Amino acid sequence: MCGLLGLLTADGSAAAHADAIAAASHCMRHRGPDEPGTWHDDDLVVGFNRLSIIDIEHSHQPLRWGPPEAPDRYALVFNGEIYNYLEIREELSRDEGTVFATEGDGEAIVAAFHHWGPDAVRRLRGMFAFAVWDTQTRSLFLARDPFGIKPLFIATGPAGTAFGSEKKSLLELLEGLRLADDLDPRAIEHYTVLQYVPEPETLHAAIRRLESGCHATIRPGSAPEIRRYFTPQFGVRPFAAGSEQKRYDQIADVLSDSVAKHMRADVTVGSFLSGGIDSTAIAALAIRHNPDLITFTTGFERDGYSEVDVAAESAEAIGARHIVKVVGPEEFVAAIPEIVWYLDDPVADPALVPLYFVAKEARKHVKVVLSGEGADELFGGYTIYKEPLSLSGFDKLPTALRRLAGRLSDRIPEGTRGKSLLHRGSLTLEERYYGNARSFDDARLRAVLRDYRPEWTHTDVTAPIYARSQGWDPVARMQHVDLFTWLRGDILVKADKMTMANSLELRVPFLDPEVFAVAEGLPFDEKISHGTTKYALRKALEQIVPAHVLHRKKLGFPVPIRHWLAGPELFDWAHETIRNSQTDHIFDKTAVLAMLDEHRAGTVDNSRRLWTLLVFMVWHAIFVEKTLAPSISDHTYPVRL
């Protein structure tokens, strides 16, 4: 796990940019505090910050490698982990006679690329964002893992193309690329509705993300040629006929294998543990490989907003040492500017704050943690996935009657039972389902956003995703949308940013190509069935997780934002943040303050909408106004832990 940064110049002036790359790399030193490095030739300059996990004494980056006839042909910078690197190295040694100089996974990547070309990315089982520079063909190859676990930003201007693990590093290079730092108004509107900035957008118009499951080839002076190499196909390749138990055994086996490979490291591996089935399953499988496993959880000093007791019970049941971090409102507020700085672009998910604190606590004890992200998207775990069943009656109605139901819902007062059901039943799946987050509806958005554009809707983001899932069952289509929106826009961003903020590597065994290959074939009734979600996964885990968590409702790391924004904990901070923000040209601050007053009075729960705007205002103060400068310390950690 590391941070990479590079610049492919258009005019062969790489050496002149070496100092700028080194300086810009420093602002992501938290991603790799163990070892910095730079390298350049005429066209390319790269910088690297290493967090040493595998082959600590060697595998330095930037890594030079090549075949015997050209031993320094390639240069590699690589963020992530390849969990099947041992198998790849063995195959290349056996079939190609490849000789390796290190024991690491980085060398496996560049050797695989040499022999297999761009198709090598399809063979990698891991999380990654990497760049391989071929000094013979003068071409740069960038790739990102199938699910978007690791980030990769790109900016192309007249002076060349810059790429890096964090957007803030690229912001420091825009002037050298002869690019402006203007904000993207469409991305702002998308963020306000969705609570995150959807890929490939960022809030800066000049910087974009290489999307998950894509690779790019770039030559000096040319724009990136981007290709998608991974497209999920839920339900298209169903399980072969056979007993359900064989399915459940297959799920258990492939997940066990994934956890085993995710435990590969030369440092200590721990595990996050909430009160839910996903993280408990990962921890229960992990302890088979490390009997001294340490688990970590977090909670708040408020009833109903903590799974600390359940997580502790789970840890005791599997035999793990357990550590708890309880977060109070004062440290919560104090950490917000620093957390937003680490995010690069705002993400309005309050759960990232406790994640930051539990990662900070975990880093005192381990260097790597496992976590349960991705299980809901792969196995059908969100409660909203039950909606096609509850709305199935509307699907049988003529379109005119469905629209009439929608008009009737508009006349029903807010808060009345059945209003939401009528409204959502009147819409098609494509119209109503944006993904797992929606902060503002059109009416509220129009009232708050100065430059509201009705044509910039969620369908900008979701329409092409839905187009790829025609003919699938509705739950499969919702999962498909979430893989390309909520998972990579929120879940994985906060997982990467909050752990890397603390120089902690997070691994997600559910998001493994082999696990996905099993999950994608599950039929509708193996996801939403018997009144529960993730039915097949729960059946598969019956002999793995403790009984007390097997059928618990999903809670995760809930945050008492609704209560705190209405009370002394956050109200004054929120009021001051809104009043001082220089975002009058973006938001109607009078309307925002009225929302805050409504929320305190208890007439409307505006907590998620307010949090969306507040996080943006903090972000704007840091990255645009530059009136807020979080204190970011240079953490020092032992290389081995």
Q: Among residues 1, 2, 251, 353, which one is catalytic? A: 2
Q: What is the torsional sign of CA 215, 217, 218, 222?
A: negative
CB 31 within 8 A of CB 79: yes
Please count the residues of the chain: 641
Confirm whether 27 is a catalytic residue: no
User: Structure tokens of 469?
Assistant: 């899932």
- Helix/strand/coil for 242: coil
Both tokens of 508, joined, read 């997600």
Neighbouring residues of 104: CB distance < 8 A, sequence distance ≥ 6: 54, 55, 58, 59, 85
Binding residues: 105, 371-372
For 156-180, b where at least 16 C-beta lie within 10 A, e where not — what string?
Answer: bbebbbbbbbbbbbbbbbbebbebe
E strand map for 499-541: 505-507
Q: Which amino acid is at 321?
A: R
598 Cβ neighbours under 8 A, 6+ residues apart:
604, 606
What is the Cα–Cα distance from 105 to 116, expressed in whole angstroms?
Answer: 16
Question: Which residues belong to the annotated binding site for ATP?
Answer: 371-372
What is the residue whose two structure tokens read 């909203």?
384
How many CA atoms within 13 Å lie on the side-chain side of 70?
A: 9
Phi, psi (deg, nearest 5) at residue 120: -60, -30
**Contact of 333 with 570, CB cutoff 8 Å:** yes
Pseudo-torsion of CA 13, 19, 21, 25, nearest 10°?
170
Helix (H, G, I), strand (E, B) or coil at 266: coil
Taking the CA atoms of residue 80, residue 515, residue 288 and residue 321 in that order, the dihedral angle to the nearest 10 degrees is: 60
Contacts (Cβ under 8 Å, ≥6 apart) of 428? none
Read off the DSSP letter of residue 16. G
- Listed in sequence order, the residues at least 6 apart from 343 whose beta carbon sits closer than 8 Å to its beta carbon are 352, 493, 494, 497, 619
Please report, in range form, the residues annotated as the binding site for L-glutamine.
105
Q: How far apart are CA 375 and CA 386, in angstroms?
A: 16
The DSSP H or E segment spanning 48 is strand 44-50
Strand order in the sheet with 126-134: 63-65, 74-82, 126-134, 139-144, 214-218, 225-228
What is the identity of the amino acid at 231?
T
Sheet strands (E) in 135-213: 139-144, 153-157, 160-164, 208-209
CA–CA dist 31, 501 (Å, integer): 7
| Residue 436, number of CB atoms within 10 A of its CB | 23
Positions annotated as catalytic residues are: 2
